[in-house]
Amino acid sequence: MLALENYILGSWRKGEGDGQVLYHAVTGEPIVTASTKGVDFEAVLNYARKTGNPALRKMSFHERGLMLRALALHLREHLDRFYTISYQTGATKADSWVDIEGGIGNLFSYASLRRKLPDTPFCLDGENHPLGKANTFMGHHLLIPKEGVAVHINAFNFPVWGMLEKIAVNLLAGMPAVVKPATVTSFLTEAVVKEIVASGILPDGALQLICGSAGDLLSHIGSQDVVTFTGSAKTGLLLKSGKRILEENVPFTMEADSLNSIVLGADVEPGMAEWDLFIKEVRKEMTTKCGQKCTAIRRIFVPENKMEAVQQSLSKALAQTVIGNPLHEKVRMGSLAGETQRKEVREQVQKLLASSQIIYGSLDSVELTDADNTKGAFISPILLFNQDPHNSSEVHEVEAFGPVATLMSYSSLEEAISLVKKGKGSLVSSIVTADTSLANEYVLGAGMYHGRILILNQQCAKESTGHGSPLPLLVHGGPGRAGGGEEMGGLRGIKHYMQRVAIQGSPDMITAVSKVYQPGATGNLDTIHPFKKYFEELAIGDQLMTEKRLITAEDINRFADLSGDHFYAHLSQTDFTGTMFEKQVAHGYFIMSAAAGLFVDSYEKNPVLLNYGIDELRFTKPVYPGSEIRVRFTCKEKIRQEKKEPADINKGIVKWLVEILDEMDEIVGIATILTMVERKD
C-alpha cells in the first residue's frame, strides 16, 4: 500500500513502520498509510527557524504578496487532480469547491492586501504619538516578523482550506509554517503540498508538512513561535495547557467546534422571501460537507407560533436532498469522512436524545444513490426537536459533528438571545429578518458571544456568502467555547505573527527606523523639485518649502462662486457674533487647492503621472483674508507597484506629507497626498 510522505528538512520522507491506514470514505477501501515515526520534530522546527524564517523576513510585504498570488495561480492549474482526490473524503463537487477553491481564494485575498502595506519587511502600526512640546521626542508602534515558526494543527473537515487560509496569513507576515493536518484526510493535503513544493515558488523552509501523529512537536516550541489549532474544544484545551506553551508564553490561537445558531425573526411569515431563505440556509448548513463544518448550524430557534410550519418546511427540504456517491451527478450530500466519524456522530446524537427527539431522519438507515451504506460512512440528515431548551443542558453542550441540528422555540427575541448564549460562545450566528430593529436588538444582545453574525434578508441574499462561510478579510473565531481566538481578519491576522514593539526617539530616528517620514523630522531640501525626480531618485524626507501666497477676500468669493459652496462662514456680509470665527474665513478646500498651486511643478511634463488621492486631510486653524500661506511638502513613503500588463508604465505610489503653514508658521491644514510616479527601471 502506498504511504504518504512528510515534507520536512527540504525533502519528501516517509515515516518508519506500517503507519495508520487511511480509508476511502465512500467505498471503505484502504487507500494509503500515514506515519511520522522517526521524524525529528526538533530538527523540523529548527529548519523552519534557521532556513525559512530568514528568507521570508528579508522579503517585503509586496514580495510576499506576489509570492502568494503566484502560488494561487499555480494551484489553480491542478484543480482536476485535487477534486479527484477530494471525492475520496466523501465530499461532493460543491463541498470540494469550498475546500479547494475557497482555500486558493484565501491566497488571492491575502496577496491583494500587499497594496495596503508598505514595500518593506515590517510596518508601522497605528498613529504616531508626540511626547514633547518641542516635538523632539515621539513614540510609535512597529510590527516586525517574529523569528520563529507557525505550527498549524488542523481539522479533518477542510484538508485544503484549513491549511491555505492559515499559511496565507503567516507567509504574508514573514513567518514560515509547519502544517499538521488531521491524519484521516491528510492525503489531500499532501497532494496540494506536493504541487506547492514542485512550483518552487516558496523559499526553502517556508512550508513543511507532517502527515500522521504530531509526536513531541509541541515540546520543542519557543517564545518566538505561534501555534494555531482547529478542532474539538477538548483537544484544544489539552494542547493549550501544554508545558512549553505555558512556560514560553507561546501565542496559541484556537478555533474550536461550536454550537452555532440561527434565529428566525418573529416578523418572518410563510410566503415571505426571508422564510424561504431561512429554510434554504438551514438545509444547506446541515448537508454541506455532510454537516462536517465548524461553522455549521447546530441550534435552530424559531418563534413558538411558527414551530409546526418550520418543521414541515425543513423536513420537506431535507427530503429533497439526494445522498450517496459524490461522483454521481444527482447527489447533493456525500458521506462523513470515515467510519470513526460516523460512530462518533451516532454517539453524540444518543446524548442529545436524552432531552430531544428525532423529527426527521434516522440513525440507522439512509436512502442512498450509487453507494453502499455497509461500506461507506453515510448517515441521514437528522433534525431533532427540544421542547424545553431552558432546562435541557445537552442541546447547548453536545455537538454531533455531522448533518445534525436541533429545533427549538422562543416566545420573545429576548428569550431567543438568552437561549443562544447558552452555547457559551460560538463562531457564528445568523438572524433571518426583514426588521431592522430586530436585527439591531439581536446583534447588540448576542454579539459578545459570537465571532461573526450574519443578518440575512431578501436584500443581501443574492450576494450573501452564507452562514457557514468564513471570509479572509473578516475574523474567524469566537469567544468561550469557540476557542477565544481569531484567524484571518485581513490585516488584523498578520499581527498574530508579528511582534508589536513600541519605539521612542526623535522624529529623525523614528523616520530612519520606520522608513516613513515623521512630522518634525529633518527634511532633505534640494534645488531639484521633487516632482522632477523619478521614483528611484526620491528619498524619504525629500522636502520642498514653497513660496508664500496671500489669501484675499476676492479669492474666497471667487471660490465660493466656482464651487457653489456659500456656507455662511465664507460670506463677508455674515454677522459673526456667536460663531467660531472672527470674520469671513477661507474654505478649507480652497486652502488645499491653493496649497497644490504652490507645491505642484507646473507646465512641463515630469515623472508624476497622476494625483492618486488625498488621505487624512484636516483643517486645523481658520485662514482669514490677509493671511499668507506656504507649504512644507515632504516625501513621506514610497510603495513600488508591479505591472498588471507588459505594456504598463513602470510606476510606484509616493505619499507626500502636506503641511500648510500661515505667516506665524503655525499649521492651518495637513494632509497626505498620493501621486503615481514613473520608475526608470
pLDDT tens sequence across 21-57: 999 999 999 999 999 999 999 999 999 999 999 999 9
Average pLDDT in the 475-483 region?
A: 89
Average pLDDT in the 610-622 region?
A: 91
Residue 659, beta-bridge partner list: 632, 670
Q: Indicate the pLDDT class of residue 545, thresholds 50, 70 and 90.
A: very high
Please tell me which residue in 5, 165, 190, 255 is annotated as part of the active site: 255
* Distance, CA of 637 to CA of 514 (rounded, Å): 10
pLDDT value of position 235: 87
Residue 484 has pLDDT above 90, yes or no: no
pLDDT value of position 236: 85
* Percentage, residues of the chain above pLDDT 90: 81
The string over 434-473, giving b where at least 16 C-beta atoms fall within 10 Å of a residue's C-beta and e elsewhere, is: bbeebbebbeebbeebbbbbbbbbeeebeebebbbbbbbe
- Active-site residue flag, 123: no
Q: Write the pLDDT tens digit of every residue in 411-459.
A: 999 999 999 999 999 999 999 999 999 999 999 999 999 999 999 999 9
* Distance, CA of 334 to CA of 396 (rounded, Å): 27
Q: Indicate the pLDDT class of residue 647, thresholds 50, 70 and 90.
A: confident
pLDDT value of position 257: 82
All CATH 3.40.605.10 domain ranges in the chain, comma separated: 5-257+492-499
Average pLDDT in the 110-132 region?
A: 92
All CATH 3.10.129.10 domain ranges in the chain, comma separated: 523-678
Average pLDDT in the 511-534 region?
A: 91
Q: What is the CATH number of domain 5-257+492-499?
A: 3.40.605.10
pLDDT value of position 470: 86
pLDDT value of position 487: 87
Q: Where are the beta strands (DSSP E) in 553-603?
A: none
At the second CATH level, the architecture of 523-678 is Roll (3.10)
Residue 1 has pLDDT above 80, yes or no: no
Q: State the cell numbers at 153.
A: 494543527
List Cβ neighbours of 56 (8 Å cut-off, separation of 6 or more): 64, 145, 171, 174, 175, 176, 203, 206
Least confident of 71-75, 369-373, 480-484: 480-484
Q: Write the pLDDT tens digit of every residue in 201-244.
A: 999 999 999 999 999 999 999 999 999 999 888 888 889 888 99
> How buried is residue 671: exposed, middle or buried, by Cβ count under 10 Å (0-12/13-18/19+)?
middle
pLDDT value of position 648: 86
* Distance, CA of 629 to CA of 667 (rounded, Å): 9
Q: Indicate the pLDDT class of residue 113, thresholds 50, 70 and 90.
A: very high
Residue 660, beta-bridge partner list: 631, 669
| Fold of the domain built from segment(s) 260-470 | Aldehyde Dehydrogenase; Chain A, domain 2 (3.40.309)
All CATH 3.40.309.10 domain ranges in the chain, comma separated: 260-470
Residue 199 has pLDDT above 80, yes or no: yes
Q: Is the dihedral of CA 58, 62, 68, 72 positive or negative?
A: negative
pTM: 0.90
Say how many CA atoms lie within 13 Å of 510 toward its Cβ.
28
Residue 506 has pLDDT above 90, yes or no: yes
Please tell me which residue in 123, 290, 294, 635 is annotated as part of the active site: 294
User: Which H or E run includes 170?
Assistant: helix 161-173
- Active-site residue flag, 294: yes
Residue 602 has pLDDT above 80, yes or no: no
Q: Indicate the pLDDT class of residue 78, thresholds 50, 70 and 90.
A: very high
List Cβ neighbours of 664 (8 Å cut-off, separation of 6 or more): none
pLDDT value of position 489: 83
Give me the torsion for CA of 361, 363, 368, 374, rounded to 10°. Answer: -170
pLDDT value of position 601: 80
Q: State the cell numbers at 125.
A: 502600526
CB atoms within 10 A of CB 555: 17
Residue 279 has pLDDT above 80, yes or no: yes
Q: What is the mean pLDDT of the chain?
A: 93
